[in-house]
Structure 1
Amino acid sequence: MDWRDTGILLCTRRHGETSAILEVFTPQRGRHAGVLRGATSRRIAPILQPGAQLDLSWRARLEDHIGSFTVEPQRSRAAQAMGDRLSLAGLNAVTALLAFCLPEREAHPRLYTRTEALLDLLGQPDIWPLAYLRWEMALLDEMGFGLDLTACAANGSNDQLIYVSPKTGRAVSASGAGEWADRLLPLPPVMLGLGRGPDDEVLTALSTTGHFMHSRLASALGDRPLPSARAALVDRISRQAAG
């Protein structure tokens, strides 16, 4: 069995003296692992940074074997990530979340395209928080836990949508909230695609998506805790918002 594809490196772990097990995200093969021989060599080691774009060839005797990779670099994102702390935190959060939640060997081409576009924005801290929020909402949707923000769950109206139900993930209007308003999650305009998405509004939105990342996504994966890299990114955005 063999295939060739492009992919984003999510993480590596040491395997023996000179090899490593790579986890990559590819458009056609999804999250896929394989052994890379000679991963500690001076030629290969510098390119094995999370977020790197790689040309991948995978081969195994049987399809269900872990198999082995050969790789060639397409482009590195290390320079952009190391340029500022927000970019580094963002790269770590994206790769950690993908490694955490993607089913092994299940294609998610739309999410791959969005992820590639997001990582190409590293180094642009003015627009990255909003781009990340939109990516996180797409991640929830791709994993089957998307929010329905089209109309009020209580009365069907699409006016004054300012809340999200923490149970259903559906929008709720100001008039439809009634006595339950204090139990609902905030729905800032940026989540509806409105406005320019200042950092403080993005933070409010991330508190809402974070609820569903914990209560739905992580719960569906056996109540494993979300990667700490996400919290580190939210903290970094908070620091940027505070100036």
Structure 2
Amino acid sequence: MNWSDEGFLLSKNRYNENSLIVEIFTKEKGKVSGIIFGGTSKKIKNYLQIGNKLHVNYNSKNENRIGYFKVEILNAYSPMYFDDRQKLSCLTSAMNLIKILTADAQSNEKVFFIIQNFFLILQDKNWLKKYIFWELELLKILGYDLELENLVEKDTENNETVYYVSSLNEKKYVPNFLIEKDKEVQDIKILLKGLKLVNDYLDKTILKPNNINFPNNRLLFLNTLR
């Protein structure tokens, strides 16, 4: 089985002294694992960074055996953020989210294009707010729509509009910017509350039911924001 495509590097692990096993989310084939022989060599290891966009040629003797990639760099996104701890950590966390939430060898062009859009978001001055909406859109594409607009109730407290979700045990407040999407947010604490809301939903609705541990690199990303 042979094919060519383009995709984003999601993960890499050493296979032996000279090679790597990688996962790449491709435009036509979805998430695919394969070996890159010589992946640790000076010639190509520098552009095998998480998030980089690659042209790939895939070769496999049969569908039941892992194949191998020959790769060429298309866009070196990661090095742009080597000096930006927050954005680099966000990139690593986002690619890991794609890795753990997508099935192998299932084509999904919407996921491919939302990854591409991720790198446009990192260039925006309001990147963190836009990233939170990026995550919500990703979850929606994968069938986990939070549907906040349909869940929240609206009230006025101390002459300010508040949104919340009620349950038998608690009243959980929702940051206003998640409902009023054009609302500007400067306070990092409010943005962190938005991320925490997504965290809770991700953990309770997706990760725990599927026996997936909460990603450590996501925790590291959150720590860079505090």
- Corresponding residue of 2:65: 65
- Matches of 1:101 and 1:135, distance apart in 2: 14
**Percent of residue pairs bearing the same amino acid type:** 23
1:116: how far off? 1.4
Matched, 1:219 2:208: yes
Q: 1:208 and 1:15, CA in 2 relative to 1: closer, same or farther beyond 3 A? A: same
Cα deviations by residue, 1:209-231 (Å, 9 ceiling, x for unpaired): 11111101102322x21211112
- Matches of 2:128 and 2:214, distance apart in 1: 19
- Matches of 1:86 and 1:235, distance apart in 2: 9
**Structure 2 SS opposite 1:107:** coil
Any residues of structure 2 matched to 1:222-233 within 5 Å, and which? 222=211, 224-233=212-221
Q: 1:204 and 1:63, CA in 2 relative to 1: closer, same or farther beyond 3 A? A: same
1:154: how far off? 7.8
Q: Which runs of 5+ in 2 are unaligned?
A: 155-160
Query: CA RMSD for the aligned pairs?
Result: 2.3
- Matches of 1:231 and 1:200, distance apart in 2: 16
Matched, 1:235 2:223: yes
Does the aligned pair in 1 maintain the 2:13–2:22 contact within 8 Å? yes
1:112: how far off? 1.9
Runs of 4+ in 1 over 6 A off after TM superposition: none
2:18 is matched by which residue type in structure 1?
T
1:214 is matched by which residue type in structure 2?
D
- Matches of 1:123 and 1:14, distance apart in 2: 31
**Structure 2 SS opposite 1:150:** helix
- Corresponding residue of 1:169: none
- Corresponding residue of 1:130: 129
Does the aligned pair in 1 maintain the 2:152–2:164 contact within 8 Å? no
Matched, 1:190 2:177: yes
1:153: how far off? 6.9
Q: 1:184 and 1:102, CA in 2 relative to 1: closer, same or farther beyond 3 A? A: farther
Q: 1:183 and 1:4, CA in 2 relative to 1: closer, same or farther beyond 3 A? A: same
1:80: how far off? 1.7
Give the strand-richer structure, 1 or 2: 2
Does the aligned pair in 1 maintain the 2:25–2:32 contact within 8 Å? yes
1:123: how far off? 5.6
- Matches of 1:107 and 1:161, distance apart in 2: 40
- Matches of 1:201 and 1:102, distance apart in 2: 29
- Matches of 1:140 and 1:4, distance apart in 2: 28
- Corresponding residue of 2:163: 162
- Matches of 1:143 and 1:161, distance apart in 2: 29
Q: Which runs of 5+ in 1 are unaligned?
A: 165-176, 239-243
1:107: how far off? 2.0
Does the aligned pair in 2 maintain the 1:218–1:226 contact within 8 Å? yes
**Structure 1 SS opposite 2:7:** strand
- Corresponding residue of 1:241: none
- Corresponding residue of 1:42: 42
Cα deviations by residue, 1:124-179 (Å, 9 ceiling, x for unpaired): 5x322112101211222233221112335789xxxx67123xxxxxxxxxxxx4xx
Does the aligned pair in 1 maintain the 2:153–2:164 contact within 8 Å? no
Cα deviations by residue, 1:12-42 (Å, 9 ceiling, x for unpaired): 1111221111111112222110111111221
Does the aligned pair in 2 maintain the 1:6–1:55 contact within 8 Å? yes
Find the partner of 1:206 among 148, 171, 195.
Answer: 195
TM-score relative to the length of structure 2: 0.87
- Matches of 1:181 and 1:200, distance apart in 2: 27
Q: 1:119 and 1:64, CA in 2 relative to 1: closer, same or farther beyond 3 A? A: farther
